[in-house]
Amino acid sequence: MASRPLCPGTAPEQERGLPLSAWARAQSSRRLSWSVVVRDVGCFKLSVPDRNRNLLPTVDPLALDKQSPPLPKKHQIPVETSWGDQEPLSKIPCKILRGHEHFVSSCHFCVDDTKLLSGSYDSTVKLWDAVDGSLVRNFEPKPKAPVLECSVTADSRRIVAASYDKVLQAWDLETGKLLWQVEYDSFIVSCKFSPDGKYVVSGLDVDHSIRVMDAENTTTVSLLKGHHRKSITACCFDPDSQRVASVSLDRCIKIWDVTSQATLFTIAKAHSNAISNCCFTSTGHFLCTSSWDKTLKIWNVHTGEFRNHGACVTLMQGHKGSVSSCRFARDSSFLISGGFDKTVAIWDVGEGYQRLSLKGHTDWVMDVAVSKDKKWILSASKDRTMILWNIEEIDQIPLVIESKKAMGLKLKQCEGCDRPFSIFESDTSSEIFNKCVFCRREAKDLPEECSSSSEKENSSPTLPPMGSSDD
């Protein structure tokens, strides 16, 4: 019998079984309604609480077929926007974007932060204007099933979306033209473009596999079956488009080399519960993972330091429920996360504390994104909305200032990368604390790498150690 992961957003003692048998039935029968498929497959990302509790009566995925018929295409639903303060002391201006008719599962900034991309369980992928919040277009032909995830290339030319009918679709972002459509044999639980735009990586359910596909001609570049013991929840490329990180309900992190098609290493039991998402820093040296255990962890995947010391940073006491998503700022100066406690958290990575918690959604936060200029945060929620947060003046917010004073923190400029970082005012070591945590760790790892290279030159070549970090 399969182990039972904890239900996100509930107390640890409340558990739910994973209905894999139901997915098998969905595969063998074409006559099942989408309400059954969404109910069963949705447990990966949603794991909806017991309906008897009536917590979510208006967004019950089991009620998909009970909703009123969609409006005619010529009658577009108006996009409502509103600006306002988030909390008395936080003073965070935000804009609410309405237009989706079901959970908003995925969100991104694109076109130099002037446009927003979203995917939803209402089976649509939408492009928005970031300035006035208006709807630019629905991508057609639209998916025939709920959209779990969408992704956009770094140059904002193409987008891709995965839906619950096992179909992957790609469009031209500027024209809205459908470029290609591929149907898999298994449910697609995650999809992302590589940073160079050449590949699309997909995490597949049932056979727990990772597939890398050519983004132009849709041919399969590599396929790794049975990559995890349980269902994959997320996967992503590193900044060089050479490695793929994947996380799973089995609580493991795996890094896979695309060229050699080999698993470089596995971090077993990385969290105490299912891992929901992952993302790399801009250098690719560090990987952040979010989990249903209410924490985020940052791993040094460049030197393998985790083998001896585990995660180099563990972020706790921020979310009161399962953490669903995580994203680094472009320069890794801060990290954001979304949770099933309906909040978006902004983290100081160097000192490992929460700078601010953004409260505005009325239901689970499903995905988060950060603009390139670091002035805006975008969050997608189960409450059918997206919120665009302006964090440009975050360090001038009274709540943030008071929090720093209470912790005895002050801001300094990193001599290595010129990024601002926080230190305790009582720290006096000028040699160590003139650089941020990332530059300090990379400087620490450099002598070890040089020493290792010197030893290799004076000895016969050996294969690097592979496999799990679990004893």
* pLDDT tens by residue, 57-97: 333 333 334 444 443 443 343 444 444 434 444 568 899 99
What predicted TM-score, i.e. pTM, was given to this entire model? 0.71
- For position 413, what pLDDT does the model report? 65
- For position 57, what pLDDT does the model report? 37
My answer on whether 370 and 435 are in the same domain is: no
Are 98 and 129 contacting, i.e. CB atoms less than 8 angstroms apart?
no
pLDDT at 44 over 50: no
Q: Which residues contact 447 (CB under 8 A, 6 or more apart)?
A: none
**Domain total in the chain:** 3
% of the chain residues with pLDDT over 90 = 55
CB atoms within 10 A of CB 1: 4
My answer on whether 102 and 181 are in the same domain is: yes
Report residue 47's pLDDT band, with 50, 70 and 90 as the boundaries: very low
Q: Which residues contact 465 (CB under 8 A, 6 or more apart)?
A: none
Report residue 377's pLDDT band, with 50, 70 and 90 as the boundaries: very high
Report residue 161's pLDDT band, with 50, 70 and 90 as the boundaries: very high
pLDDT at 102 over 70: yes
My answer on whether 280 and 425 are in the same domain is: no
My answer on whether 190 and 290 are in the same domain is: yes
**β-sheet bridge partners, residue 119:** 106, 125
Cis peptide before 465 (omega within 30 of 0): no
Q: Which residues contact 348 (CB under 8 A, 6 or more apart)?
A: 334, 354, 355, 421, 422
- For position 58, what pLDDT does the model report? 37
pLDDT at 362 over 90: yes
CA-nearest of 175, 205, 206, 207 to 191 is 205
Is the residue at 443 inside a domain?
Answer: yes
34-41 helix and 20-28 helix, angle to the nearest 10 degrees = 150
Rounded (5°) CA angle 189-327-191: 25
Distance CA(370)–CA(391), nearest Å, equals 10
Q: Report how far apart, in Å, the C-alpha atoms of 51 and of each of 11, 59, 63, 98, 250 are.
A: 16, 11, 11, 26, 26
My answer on whether 247 and 193 are in the same domain is: yes
My answer on whether 328 and 423 are in the same domain is: no
Q: Which residues contact 380 (CB under 8 A, 6 or more apart)?
A: 104, 105, 106, 107, 118, 338, 365, 366, 367, 368, 386
Q: Which residue has the higher pLDDT, 28 or 322?
A: 322
| Of the listed ranges 28-32, 50-54, 139-143, the one predicted with least confidence | 50-54
My answer on whether 56 and 91 are in the same domain is: no
Question: Could you give the strand order of the β-sheet that contains 220-224, starting from the edge strand earlier in sequence?
Answer: 188-193, 199-204, 209-214, 220-224
Range of the domain at 33: 20-66
**Tokens standing for 47?**
């794991």
Report residue 407's pLDDT band, with 50, 70 and 90 as the boundaries: low
What's 357's domain CATH number? 2.130.10.10
Average pLDDT over residues 432-445: 62
% of the chain residues with pLDDT over 70 = 64
My answer on whether 172 and 28 are in the same domain is: no
* pLDDT tens by residue, 259-316: 888 899 999 999 999 999 999 999 999 999 999 999 999 999 988 778 878 888 899 8
My answer on whether 31 and 180 are in the same domain is: no
My answer on whether 46 and 157 are in the same domain is: no
Report residue 34's pLDDT band, with 50, 70 and 90 as the boundaries: low
Distance CA(19)–CA(47), nearest Å, equals 10
pLDDT at 225 over 60: yes
Q: Which residue has the higher pLDDT, 256 or 66?
A: 256
My answer on whether 411 and 367 are in the same domain is: no
Average pLDDT over residues 228-240: 95
Average pLDDT over residues 108-132: 97
- For position 179, what pLDDT does the model report? 98
- For position 36, what pLDDT does the model report? 52
* Average pLDDT over the chain, rounded to an integer: 78
